[in-house]
Amino acid sequence: MRRGAVALMGVLVAGVGPMLVACGGDDPSSDADRGSASPPPYGVVRPRDAVDAVEGEDYDLVHELTPSEGQSTVAVLPDGRLVALASEDHDSYDGAVFVLELVDAASGDREQLPAPWRDEPEAYPLVTVLEDARLLVSWDVREQGASTRRSMVLDLATGDHEEFDMPAPPLSARAKVLSYPQPDADGRLWFQTGKQTCGDGECFSPRDAVLWSYAPGDERPRRELAAVDFAVHGDLLAWTDDRYDDKVHVRDLSSGAEHEHAVDGKCGVTGLVASDALVVAVCGLDYGRQVVLDRRARPVADLRLSYEYASVGDRWVLISPFAYDTWTGRLLRLFHRGSGADPTRELTDDLAVVPLGEANVVGTFAHWGVLRLRSAR
């Protein structure tokens, strides 16, 4: 097993899961970028505001493919290739081994990626797309009753990969590491520690929560600040101070400039997702509400669309089955789903992967589509 420092310079293209989950000036969505369009006024956006997306007008279908049984996408690369997660035991996830595949959406070819976690019981790899065709993959390693976060940087062009462990922070009694590492623009990885109570399948906001950062190969992490919820993307850091706090802080890591916004109404932020230009605050007290802020913490939109976490780019916010254009205020319905929730929904810039066709009785779809979202009708 290889160890060593790994350069992560030139960062995040897309994140995963609720951690889901880069660089630029104070306002990357400048008037020059937008053309002559003015940003839409801040307001509530609901499903009834959506129009059905039309191929050739609202998006272009780049690729269509049929997934293997049990697969779900965890990332879409800028060139349209997909990173898919699959279980080697399709009948049950209990004790299953999870693997990652690189899927060429144009040809349908699949390549299984290195899986150093294969011998770890129930290890679940979490994927972040970096620039220059690289992936950051993290998972848990259990040794002598203790759990360690291990990460791998994989170069998709060469197949080379390097592994490193998260350095152990000094912890008080009952505190533990709570998050997987998230990279910033300088190649540092951020993670959270704290005391957290879990029960009935739900974990509550941690107490005494602290953010740490480290460079791959460091023996000790650097203490950053106290934060209950956080998201890092390139040179943008967003966080909240307290449990169910409605005040979101946003810091430019390159300049040190900080801004904050108190979300109106009864929100109770319980999650954050970030991109180069946008921050999405997930409301825990107003179920299904997600508030979009820009990198100066100015409110952009109040989305009341779904309980599912958003995938966010510099311009678009994807909350299945909707795509919201923060530049024009358009809300597109990309597909019609059944009674269940399909896990296939990722976004990188204007490139989205969504299910296609009609959902079956359990809400899953037989096909995936890679779509390029268009600027305007």
Please, is 376 exposed, middle or buried when counting C-beta atoms within 10 Å of its C-beta (0-12, 13-18, 19+)?
exposed
Which of 250, 322, 316, 241 is CA-nearest to residue 279?
250
Tokens of 369: 């589509």
Residue type, 76: V
Report the first-to-last Cα separation within the chain, whole angstroms: 52
Answer for the pair 182, 200: CB distance below 8 angstroms, yes or no: no
By the 8 A CB rule, do 204 and 198 touch? yes
Long-range contacts of residues 335-343, Cβ cutoff 8 Å, at least 24 apart = 335/365, 337/363, 337/365, 338/362, 338/363, 339/363, 340/364, 341/308, 343/72, 343/73
| Model pLDDT, residue 89 | 64
Q: What is the pLDDT along the chain (377 residues), one digit of tens a residue?
A: 343 444 454 444 444 333 333 333 344 444 445 544 577 899 999 999 999 999 999 999 998 888 777 778 889 998 889 999 988 764 555 567 899 999 998 888 999 999 999 888 778 999 999 988 899 999 999 877 678 899 999 999 999 999 999 999 999 888 899 999 999 999 999 999 999 877 676 777 788 999 999 999 899 999 999 999 999 999 999 999 987 778 999 999 999 999 999 999 989 999 999 999 999 999 989 999 999 999 999 999 999 998 888 999 999 999 988 999 999 999 999 987 654 455 556 888 899 988 876 666 555 667 888 999 998 75
The pLDDT of residue 19 is 32
Task: Give the per-residue pLDDT at 27.
Answer: 46
